[in-house]
Amino acid sequence: MSDAIELIIPNMAEYHLRNPALQLKGEERARVVRFGGTYECEHSVFWTDAPRVLVLPKGWSQAWFDDIHKALDLAAPPVVSPVMRSGLLVDDLLHDGDAQRELRKLVTGYDVVKLTMVGPTAETYLLAALVSGWGHQVELDSVPEEAFWASLYLDSKVSCLDLARTLPAMRVAPGVVVGNWVELKGALRSLVAKHGRVIARTLFGVAGDGSRVVTDQPGNVDAFLDEASADSFFAFPILIQEFVEHAAGVGCPAADILVGPDGVEDVVLCALTVEHGYSFRSVDVGEGALPPVWAERLRAAAYEVGEAARQLGYVGWMCIDCVAGADDQLYITEINARRSGSLHAGGLLRYWGAEKELTLSAHFMLPVLEGTSYEEHIRPVFQRLWDAGVKAYPTSIRALGWTDPIIAVIAAAPTAAEAQKIIAGIRDDIYAVAGAPGPRQ
């Protein structure tokens, strides 16, 4: 045997569902499994150009897969797709003997198998043991099993409140944590009377689910309580904080942080676009994503938080989400102890060696018309861009058959504004190819 191979496992859905304190059910759980367990998995195609095997849920497009690798001038890696039993990728792989045998053949000949994942779950340690039993040295790109607790803890929004007591850069908005409906109702009324607007958030939300802005407008508290009682994301404890007014023209700063055993090894700067004050929609990635003053503040906070995580035993990728306050202060809203949804952009920057030269804009839910197909409507738009040397790609097309179909796209340019303009053009061109005017904004 020789060298090493990466085993790419985009286990987003099971990561989001891994915490025993989050008991999603019904439509909320089904949405996480469908979106994180299929759609977002396709972004992992862009994580790395190293020798690799991908594990992807069934339903990916061979035409899209081949086009992407041709456009990137990369050899397409082999893919293993286990039978979709639960919609949770690692769990499905562990229950599919045929997929395991296929995977074993593909990693034969390599001394080291590197498990490259969204983040650790209990099942990933079982998979590591399985692969180790095939005779390979297995390297995890996340915490060892004995430090799994640190990943769970850091992922909880309460960790931000704890770290804020000791870390100078860890500024958080004032608020309270409540543990039952009586406390929730009373705290909401008290805090909206004091601040005018608050944000209520569960400890383990997903892309804005589990968060809601509540105001002092008549009936708003009662309306929130009615909605939350029917939403399984809203499980106690619930954090209620003053809503920090966002600085104009900045976006919400965020940073991907690679924590190694000896300290922070890499920081990738991002700026998120959110709706309603909490719902994630798109992200710009790279040195040009933020104005320099905010980039400097964010980088300092990233190193401080990353080192604090390392001292708890955490290693691997993590990210922090922040608000650039209208008061000119940086507020940290949460830590995600995993690969963020924007790390495929960082992977492309590293592949191109363009961390300082390019900024990427990634949009995760670009609406398209019903009946839009990859071959007929999407491929021609991107082929013209590739022929012109434009770095733009459809990063997920699996939702073309859904009600309210969407695709995910990414574009790179010297500035964030130029990358965003490319995305806007892609959106309009896809509509035009489909014979309809684009949803210009």
Q: Of all residues in the chain, what percent are helix, strand and coil, respectively (each to 5)?
A: 40, 25, 35
Distance CA 260, CA 316 (A): 6
**268 touches 255 (CB < 8 A):** yes
Any long-range contacts for 419-427 (C-beta under 8 Å, 24+ apart)? 419/284, 419/359, 419/360, 419/361, 420/284, 420/361, 422/361, 422/385, 422/390, 422/392, 423/282, 423/361, 423/363, 423/366, 423/392, 426/366, 426/381, 426/382, 426/385, 426/392, 427/366
* Token duo for residue 74: 């990369």
Residue 441: the pLDDT is 47
Categorize the per-residue pLDDT at 210 as very low, low, confident or very high, splitting at 50, 70 and 90: confident
Collapsing DSSP states into helix, strand and coil, what is residue 138?
Answer: strand
Better-scored residue on pLDDT, 230 or 103? 103
The 10 Å Cβ neighbour count of residue 260 is 12
Residue matched to tokens 């939702």: 399
Convert the pLDDT of each residue in 137-157 to its tens digit: 999 999 999 999 999 999 988
Q: What is the pTM of this model?
A: 0.92
**In this structure, which amino acid lies at residue 131?**
V
Distance CA 315, CA 145 (A): 11
The torsion angles phi and psi of 150, rounded to 5 degrees, stand at -65, -35
Sort strands 112-117 and 52-55 into parallel, antiparallel or unpaired. unpaired
Convert the pLDDT of each residue in 214-265 to its tens digit: 999 999 999 988 888 877 777 889 999 999 999 998 989 999 999 999 999 9
Q: Provide the terminal-to-terminal Cα distance of the chain, rounded to the nearest Å.
A: 55
**β-sheet bridge partners, residue 285:** 270, 360
Q: What is the CA radius of gyration of the chain?
A: 22
Mean pLDDT of the residues in the chain = 92
With a CB cutoff of 8 Å and minimum separation 6, the contacts of 126 are 90, 94
With a CB cutoff of 8 Å and minimum separation 6, the contacts of 403 are none
